[in-house]
Amino acid sequence: MITNHDIKKIIEDCATSGVEVKVREIAFVLLSLFFDDKAVAYRSVYQESISSEDVNKLYSSNNISYLRSYLEHGFLGKKGGGKAKLSIGDDLSFDENKAEMINLISKTEDAMKRGEVETKDGLKIIADLRVKLNDKFKVMDDSKDSPVVVETKYNGVCEFCGREIYVPTKEQLMQKYDLIERTQDEERNNSAD
């Protein structure tokens, strides 16, 4: 992120080199680094269309060339930005990123075996990588999904208040609590006591 202080510093640094730069020119150059089409960057900043030839002339002018060089090699290089790091073609694909994280886990385990990484630190790294794999790449255990039991929300209406209620049946309760039905002999023995 470029702050107002950074913009003032860019203008001052260019002025000490004898190049007068405006805020709009800084914005144009920065957008040109991100956009493929410089005419779109120009239109975004100046709110007017320009031909490809004119934008290329402007882009290769002395002031803009100096500013572009200053930003790409000097200022953005120090801030950690720059065109090389923003290139979309250099990004890792989804599968490559996932494979690299799995590779990091095995490298960490190997480093722990060789004694290069303490066990405590290695376990922390592995745990973090596994959490990221699960969160970002939806890598889960091979265990089967647990069945989901959906109970009926309600099956009757209370005669006193008129609210919807659920009254379980005898069979449902017996199955839920693993109960068995008493035989007639057991009932006679219990009633005789």
Residue 60 shares a structural domain with residue 106: no
> Which of 46-50, 126-130, 148-152 is the least confident region?
148-152
What angle is formed at CA 98 by the lines to CA 93 and CA 99, rounded to 5 degrees?
A: 100
**CA–CA distance, 82 with 86 (Å, rounded to integer):** 7
Evaluate the CA torsion angle 23, 26, 27, 28 in order and state its sign. positive
In a domain, residue 193? The reply is no
What pLDDT does residue 4 have?
Answer: 84
DSSP state of 183: P
Residue 49 shares a structural domain with residue 75: yes
- pLDDT tens for 61-105 read 888 888 888 887 766 655 544 433 333 344 456 666 777 778 788
In a domain, residue 76? The reply is yes
Decide which of 90, 117, 151 is a domain's last residue.
Answer: 90
Domain that holds residue 98: 94-137
Say how many C-beta atoms besides its own lie within 10 A of residue 180's C-beta.
Answer: 6
Rg of the chain in Å (alpha carbons): 35
Whether the pLDDT of residue 181 is over 70: the answer is yes
Residue 50 shares a structural domain with residue 107: no
Range 96-118 average pLDDT: 82
- pLDDT tens for 6-54 read 888 888 888 888 888 888 888 888 888 777 788 888 888 888 888 888 8
Count H helices, E strands: the chain?
11, 2
Whether the pLDDT of residue 160 is over 90: the answer is yes
Residue 20 shares a structural domain with residue 40: yes
In a domain, residue 32? The reply is yes
In a domain, residue 157? The reply is no
Residue 86 shares a structural domain with residue 103: no
In a domain, residue 171? The reply is no
Query: For 41, how many CA atoms within 13 A lie in the half-sphere containing its CB?
Result: 21
Residue 80 shares a structural domain with residue 99: no
In a domain, residue 48? The reply is yes
Residue 59 shares a structural domain with residue 103: no
Q: How many domains does the chain have?
A: 2
**CA–CA distance, 98 with 101 (Å, rounded to integer):** 5
**CA–CA distance, 75 with 64 (Å, rounded to integer):** 15
Whether the pLDDT of residue 172 is over 50: the answer is yes
What pLDDT does residue 164 have?
Answer: 92
Residue 63 shares a structural domain with residue 107: no
Beta-bridged to residue 164, according to DSSP, are 157
In a domain, residue 183? The reply is no
